[in-house]
Amino acid sequence: MNEEANFIEDFCNSTFWNLTLAWDDPRGPLFTWCFEETVLRWLPCLWLAVCALPYAVYLKRQPRLRQLPKQRLNVVKILLVSVFIRVEFRKGIAACGVPFIFWLLSLLCDVEPLYSRLIMDREEEALFQDLLFARFGLQALSLVLNCYADVGRQALVDGKEPCPEIRSSFLARVTFFWMLRLLYRGYKVALEENHLFALNPRDSTDRHLPKFMAAWQRQWAAFKRR
């Protein structure tokens, strides 16, 4: 760990971690400039890089339903998020957790640098500080927008209302907020079949039966060869 910290300090030409500044400073927990420009700047990008390949494979398998180094890094991560959003739109996926968590991490990692610049007189250009504030505001806006799913009205499925999970945001899915209306109706009255919505397409027999039958045929052929 010390060797890694020394490497980063050589890279930054400044102190990487200051325990006194982080825990004992009366102005609140503060981080060093090196920590801000490495860990806090790279953490959201690391999340995106780790999720990029498995999430790209996931999207591929989904059926169609209806400063210079830092500047380059920011451009790459924004382009990657934009590609994910575009592919999600073409695949009919209303919202996903990868972009949401990316924007959440980006926003959280910018809280301390923003706070430290408000309470400390850092020798930085006014333009750089203005850009930091603007970026924080845009990241907050992006996070808020990712709390909503951009979908319109959907047609009935076999006479039933489509599953609300399809048009729910990632936050609504992880909190099961999309089921609130059905739960409230079940609390008020006894649920009947016509109260239930249609299945999510990913849970339907049409989606899983071909895979099941292919596996069944392989096992049946192996059994007959015995």
pLDDT tens track for 67-107: 434 455 556 666 766 776 666 666 666 667 777 888 888 88
Asked whether residue 26 is domain-assigned, the answer is: yes
Determine the Cα–Cα distance for residues 27 and 18; give it in Å rounded to an integer: 14
Would you say residue 209 has pLDDT above 80?
yes
Asked whether residue 30 is domain-assigned, the answer is: yes
Q: What is the pLDDT of residue 216?
A: 92
Asked whether residue 209 is domain-assigned, the answer is: no
Confidence of residue 22 (pLDDT cuts 50, 70, 90): low
Q: What is the pLDDT of residue 135?
A: 81
Asked whether residue 191 is domain-assigned, the answer is: no
CB neighbour list of residue 65: distance below 8 Å, 6 or more residues apart: 91, 92, 93, 166, 201
Asked whether residue 120 is domain-assigned, the answer is: yes
Confidence of residue 134 (pLDDT cuts 50, 70, 90): confident
Q: What is the pLDDT of residue 70?
A: 47
Q: Which domain holds residue 73?
A: 2-145
Count of structural domains within the chain: 1
Asked whether residue 58 is domain-assigned, the answer is: yes
Instruction: Give me 199's structure tokens.
Output: 């299945």
Asked whether residue 172 is domain-assigned, the answer is: no
Asked whether residue 170 is domain-assigned, the answer is: no
Assess contact for 43 and 36: CB atoms under 8 A.
Answer: no
